[in-house]
Structure formats: structure tokens, C-alpha cells
Structure 1
Amino acid sequence: MTAPFAVTGGRIFDGDAILTGHALVVEGATIRAIVEEDALPADLARLEAEGALVAPGFVDLQVNGGGGVLFNNCPTRDGIATICEAHARFGTTALMVTLITDRVAVRDEALTAGATAHAEHLPGYLGLHLEGPHLSIARKGTHDPALIRPMDEEDLSALVAAVGTFGHALTTIAPENVNPEQVRALCAAGYVVSLGHTDVAAAEVADYVEAGASMVTHLFNAMSQMGNREPGLVGAALSFGALFCGLIADGFHVDPTSMGIALRAKAGPGQIFLVTDAMSTIGTDDTGFDLNGRHVFRRDGRLSLADGTLAGADIDMLSCVRFAHTRLGLPVPQALNMASLYPAQAIGAADRGRLSPGMRADFILLDKDLSLVSTYIGGHCVHGAGMGAKP
């Protein structure tokens, strides 16, 4: 266990306000206190932040890959470790490793890998996001239509049996291939159910919210749009306060004007939060990769199939935060909350997303231009130099 230490000489964003003249006190993997620097014991070890902003670590609920690894192509414990390490270099301290629509055998390998990562308390690993295969072919996006299918009793039993073994559990489903009773069973077992890749009408969304669905996957993308006579899933997502909504802020998936409209229109308490939908390219110079036998091309900041269909995103969470601040004009605290507090609330990770006593010591240090100085997970420095670095 790391000896207690205090982060001093910086500004602390605790999730509510930016504090000056205060220190973040870390003991083991937990935040012990935030106190005025003058009140610190003289013998307590100190990490000098040198004016940096100390903020909660990012929580990303949709990460398909990183560090040259795509989870679908490498559904193993080591694959998960590589993905988590890659995203920690961009401030993400907790992520949901995402499996895109694939064969049953690959899903089962992913569940086993997630269980191993969870049992080992792998740094940065939060749980699994199963995005498909129970989606709508009409809104398939980059998902292989040959692998999309209805949820049957065997699928439901397998998913319910795995709950509790692999950390937090999230699944994206489409009403076209999953009925409300199946959603009710998934939620009762412990899954967070997200609606996505669907042409569902707004009126039908209410039945799924009543059954327990509480999230919408990558708002605006691969879903029924808001029209003058049919609000679609976009309209329902903004009007139902129970729904949290993921948003890919890379400038390719959603126009900034649409992002701003959605942020102003969203009914609470559910919030719009940032996701990367990142692929294996993050942290690499790779020019592409293969997914379900198809090649994905990396060009000019975007990933696409040969026909131009977007295939995930080539962006990290820190870049999403900077986009939200510089392009959307959001205050830094709001942009940071969209990357930490709101996704933590959406997934029910009550010990993350804020800096306060009793919370996990998952935090980052940011320069004035929002560039990353260092990343801490459970009180250990996993990127950059700092107190508590592992040998």
C-alpha cells in the first residue's frame, strides 16, 4: 500500500467547485480528505502540483480498444490490460471494455476475460459493455448484419448467470430484438440497459424505460432521429429524465450545433455524458485494423469502412473534454463532469467521478491548456511522474 501523501500547490476540482489553497490527502487507494494546505501535518509526504488542476479521473463507458488491441479480436485478460493502459495515458481511470456484435463464442471469451480482470482488480478496468448482437439491422452502423439476431432464452440465461463476475455490467439493445420482459430480467439481475442501434418510435421507448432501461448509446448515431411528427429515440432520450445519454464529441459523429441543442434540451436528472467509442488505434500510429473480417481505415481523425460508414472513433477522452470546452464553449467544470461524474452516475459507480472523502483515489493532473500531467488510479501514479508511482 502506498504511504499517505497530499497533493499540494494546485487547484482542486472536486466535482462541484474549483478550490484553491487546498490539498488532496490520499491514503492507500482512497481519498482521505480535502483540507486547507496550512492544516496539513508537517510530516505528511507531499506531491507538488505546481499550479496544475487536480480533477477526477475520466470514466469511459464505451471503449472498444486501444494500444493496438481491439477487444473483439483479443477478448483476453491481457487485451483488457493493454486497452486500460493505453487510455490511462489520456486521463481515463475507469473504463467499460466494449464488445461489439460478435459470435457467441467470442462473447463467452469476453465474459471470462472480464471476470479475470475483475478478480485481479486490474487498474482502470470497470466492467464490460456488450454492444449487441441484439440490435436493429436497419440501424446496424458498423455492426455485422450477419451476426445481429434476436435475444433468446439461452442468451438471457447466459448473461444473467455472468452478472457479478466481471464488474459493472452494461448492454446495448434494440427493441426490435429484445422485448421489455427481457429488459426487466436484465435490469433485475444487475445490468444497466442502454437503448441503441434502433429505429424505435418514441412512444415505445416509454415501455422500455418502465422496464428499467436507463441509458441511450451514442446519442444521434445509429438511431431514429427527431422529426416533426415522430420524435424518435433522439427526442425520447432528451425528454425522458430517466435516461442518461452517451455522446461522442469528435466532430465527426455529431455536428457541434446538434450537440449544443441536445445539451440545452436534455431533461434531468439523467445527463449527457462523454464517451469515446474508441478503437484499437488510440495510442498508436496504426493506419487501420480488421473487424469481423472487414477492414477499417484510419484517415484524418476518423475511422470508416470502405463504404464510408463510421466504425467507432479515433479519439481519447481528454480530447473529447477539450472539444467540449473549446468547440462547444462549455465551462471546464461542466466538460470535466461530462467525462467523470455523469458517466459514473449513469453506471452506478458511486465511488468514482468526484474527489471527496471515501471516494477512490482516481484523479488526474491537468495543465492550464488541459494537457495531461499525470494519471492516478487507486492512489498509484500510472502515467507521468509522481507520488505513489509503482516500481
Structure 2
Amino acid sequence: MKRTFTLAAALAAGLVAAPAGAQSLRIAHGYPAQSIIGATYDHFAEYVEANSDIEAEVFALTLLDLRQASPGLTSGVADVSMVLTPYFQNEFSEANFPADLSMAANIDGRPTSIAAAMAGAMMEYIIFNCPDCLMQIAAQNQVYLATAPGTQFSLLCREPLASKADVEGKVLRSSTNTFRRWTEAMGATASSISGNEMYDGLNQGLIDCTVNAVGEMSNFSLFDVVKGITLAVPGGTFGGTGIGHFNLGYWADLSVEQREMMARGMAETAAFMSTAYVRQAQTDLAKAREMGIEVLEPDASLAEATAAFTRADVATIVQLYTEQYGVQDAQAKAETFQALLAKWKGLTDPLDPTDQAALAELLWTEVLGKVDYETYGFN
């Protein structure tokens, strides 16, 4: 049964304290400190300390791992974290629905930066177009501010793969249902091991490839276990990277001015992470080539099979979320999100994909700057 938390109800239930203004911020995430995500949250902590009297501390892969992030926020172990919502399919089915549509960003031509287009579309959809998303997030004692996807997903493999025939029979670590369906459509077997297990899985031969952004080569130190990178297949990105999930009690304890400051910081931070993934992909590809790792484009058989899958999979996602997760009006929601994707492709395609300041300004003026921080999270 869905629950909607108003501020009065949350206070009465003892979930939150009366707003007074917080003095500290505990940030926990399940990535190594020396990673894009580590740098992202360091950036957010620095923003908070530079723009308030709040002291921020970042805990990298110590308090919470990737699967502990959401329950850790719910229970107040941390004040803010990255929640990878596809790890929690039932709890966040409404937000996972548009996240699973990320491959649709490529249907009418690939965006200049899928990271930027998806970030804006996800944030605008969840905050202004999906009250069901907000109710599910509130039911986890959380408040949502930002999503920051990475670059187009590629195949990071133990050996070079270029054709559909090369992929057939392989075991691919696929992080979402969409990428698992693509994997199976290509004749391969999907594995759902966590991101923290990718290195060992590749090193021990438990998986042949991981479906990930190229920037994860550095994030998870994969250069020693990857021998081939096949670019932009399956494409799409991990749209469920909720970098701006706050504990509801902590959010309520902030003053309105502090909430607005946190939101502005999250616009900056989402832009930091999305553009950092673009820069990291460029750097990692150069390093891979220097190390003798083969970097390939997919051949026609793999590219055409992927394009056909992408077009057909939108209807599959609508049906799956309707039947398996009980999402109401899924077709209309899919159309709303695809319209937002088109809008954000139009807004971001003219930008340099590494221009952090320009993307941050768009995320603020188009989304987070329009929020009423006196009531947001409580109604």
C-alpha cells in the first residue's frame, strides 16, 4: 500500500525532527574514494562547506556499500547517498520505469551526451511529472533531488568482441533488466553480480564482459582484466543513479535556505558527475589503447540487432512495468518521459559534453530552481 508523508504526519510518526537547521552532513557511498563517484561527493561536500556553516564528511565504501545505500538512508546511517534504484526494483519501480527507457534516447539519433540528456529528463520527470515516484521515495524515508547518469554503455570484455556471433554464448554482467533483455536477445547469458564484484568476476572468468560506461574502467580498476572494449553497444546508460537521495529526517531538519543551498549544490554535483564521466571515458579509452586493449566499433550484425531491439523494447518495458510492478498508466508515462528526453536532447546537444557549468545552469534553471523548498519532500 502506498503511503504519502506530509510534514505533519512525519513529525507525528517520529520520523523527523522539527526544522531547525543542520550543522553537519554525513555523506556515504559504495564506491572507492578514488573514483568519479568519490570525486563527485567530495565536490558536493566542498560546495556545502563553501556555501553554509554545515560541516560535511564523506564516507567512501566504509559505512554503506551499493546494496546498503537505500536501507542505510532509510535508517539514518547516512544523511545523503547515491541510491542505485534498479538494485531495489519494487521499492523504486516508478523511478526505475523511466530509467529503463535510457536506450530510447538513441532512437532518433544519439544525443551529444546521453549523460546530460538523461540527467535532465530524469530529474524533471521525477520531480514535476511523477507523484508516484515521490511517494515511493518518501515511503523509504527519503527525499530525491538529482540523478547523474554516465556515458553510453559499452562492452568491457576479457577478449575483443565485435559481432553478434562473438557475443552469442558469452556471460555478460548486466546491471538492469533492460540490459539483461538485450543480453539475452543477443544470444548471451545475463549475470547480475554487483558492481563491487565486477573485477573478480572478470578476473576469475565468471563473466566474459560487463555492460558499463567506459569510465568504469578507472572507477573499478578494470584495466588488468579487460582486453577488449566494444563501443556504444548496447548503448543507453544507467538511468537509476540517484546521487541526490537524502534522509527525510535530515531534510526536514534543514532550514528552507539550507534546502535550497543543498539543491543548488546538487545541480552543480550532477553536472560534475555527468561531465566527469565524459572526460573519464576519453581518458580511459586513451589509456586502454596505450595498454594494448583492443577498442572496437560493433560490426553491422551487432549494431543492427541492437537498433532493432531498442525500438521494440519500449513496448516491452511498458508491459513489464504494468504487469510485474503495477505501474499505472505506463504508456502515458512512457510518452511523457520520451517527450522529456527529446526536450533535453534539444537543450543539451548544442553544449560541449564536458561543460560542467553550462549543464549545472540548465539543471538549476529548468528543474531544481523551480522547486518550492518549504514544502518539497513533505506533500
TM-score, with structure 1 as normaliser: 0.27
Looking at secondary structure, tell me which structure has more strand per residue.
Answer: 1
Looking at secondary structure, tell me which structure has more helix per residue.
Answer: 2
Structure possessing the higher relative contact order (Cα contacts under 8 Å, 6 or more residues apart) = 2
TM-score, with structure 2 as normaliser: 0.27
